[in-house]
Amino acid sequence: MQSWVKEDAAAQQVDLLLFDDFSGHCLANTVEPLRAANTLAGRQIYAWRFLTLEGTPVTSSAGMEVNPHDQLAKCRGDMLISMPSYRYRPLATEAAKKSLRAAAGRYEVMAGFDAGAWLLAAAGLLDGRRATIHWEELAGFAEDFPQIDAQRLRHVQDGNRITCTGALAAFDLMMDLIGQAHGQALRLEVAALFMSPEVTEAEPAPLAIGSARSRSVARALALMQANIEAPLSVMEIARQIGRNRKDLEQRMKAQLGATPQAIYRHLRLIQARKLVLETDLSIAEIALRSGYEDPSAMTRAYRAEFGVPPRQMRNSTG
């Protein structure tokens, strides 16, 4: 479950097209996971810009003003996220639709968050696709655009089109995209950093329709996270969540791409790396706090995971 990204991997350019009355919550839940992924990867794997159609400032629904980096017509990249929120229908002017259609030729992926799907649909960019929108607007969306397969899901990926319902769903979607692009190890690190329920809650609330995470996997991750210093056996984790070991292994492999043992080891090594970089504790003490009785065993696992032993990483960042 190597989490560090290869040095030659190019940063993905993600641009956010903002309009007046956009949701600051949705914006933060989109950008902050990318920022965290850069920090945890140790290099820039994502870059982002705030854009508007004319390059002029916009104000969120809560009164936060954003001065954009540029106007849409001058930019290109890997993904463009259209992010209107309230009073979105008047935004679909002929000029706006033309700009979005032109942008589709400059961006590999076109996305609509919150009410953004409506603008993409009005521009003809979702015809024949599956899509979703904030559920309060879903019925009207399906009626206005019968050529689109409107679905009551938190987010939908259909080829190079992505639609997402709103702020909390945006966070989940960005986490999934990080996992797809850079592996579930990095995804788990970001989840832990933001105290995501999937790694912090032993009894998470039932997951929404369309979520890729099962309740059993979420509970297993929470147990691992809560038992870093004194690790549980995989059999004990399975017992506590009411599954047998084989079933848990199959579920985690299918949903996270790795065995419970590998995921647990990675979570423990995340703890070790945090202590290496943020404390002056000895390697022996760090090993104990990360669930290793033998410091040499922890050092070998650390090198295998992060490419360098703990002392070298500490010295290189000191």
pLDDT at 305: 87
pLDDT at 1: 37
Q: Which long-range contacts (CB under 8 A, 24 or more apart) does 3-7 make?
A: 3/40, 3/41, 3/182, 3/183, 3/185, 3/186, 3/189, 3/266, 3/305, 3/306, 4/41, 4/42, 4/306, 4/307, 5/41, 5/42, 5/43, 5/45, 5/182, 5/186, 7/43
Mean pLDDT of 232-254: 93
Q: Is residue 7 scored above 60 in pLDDT?
A: no
pLDDT at 202: 46
Mean pLDDT of 215-224: 86
* Residue keyed to tokens 């059999």: 235
Which of 61-65, 127-131, 198-202, 295-299 shows the lowest mean pLDDT across its residues?
Answer: 198-202
155 within 8 A of 102, measured Cβ to Cβ: no
Mean pLDDT of 165-173: 93
How far apart CA 36 and CA 7 sit, in angstroms, is 17
pLDDT at 258: 86
pLDDT band at 315 (very low <50, low <70, confident <90, very high): confident
Burial category of 66 from C-beta neighbours within 10 Å (exposed 0-12, middle 13-18, buried 19 and up): middle
193 within 8 A of 201, measured Cβ to Cβ: no
Mean pLDDT of 284-294: 95
pLDDT at 197: 67
Q: Which long-range contacts (CB under 8 A, 24 or more apart) does 225-228 make?
A: 225/192, 225/199, 225/200, 225/267, 226/202, 228/267, 228/268, 228/271, 228/289, 228/290, 228/291
Q: Is residue 4 scored above 70 in pLDDT?
A: no
pLDDT band at 196 (very low <50, low <70, confident <90, very high): confident
Of the chain, the end-to-end C-alpha distance in Å amounts to 26
pLDDT at 99: 98
How far apart CA 231 and CA 234 sit, in angstroms, is 9
pLDDT at 257: 81
Closest CA to 80 of 121, 52, 45: 52
Q: Which domains does the chain have, with CATH numbers?
A: 12-174 (3.40.50.880), 195-257 (no CATH), 263-317 (1.10.10.60)
pTM above 0.95, yes or no: no
pLDDT band at 201 (very low <50, low <70, confident <90, very high): low
Mean pLDDT of 309-318: 84
Average pLDDT value over all residues in the chain? 89
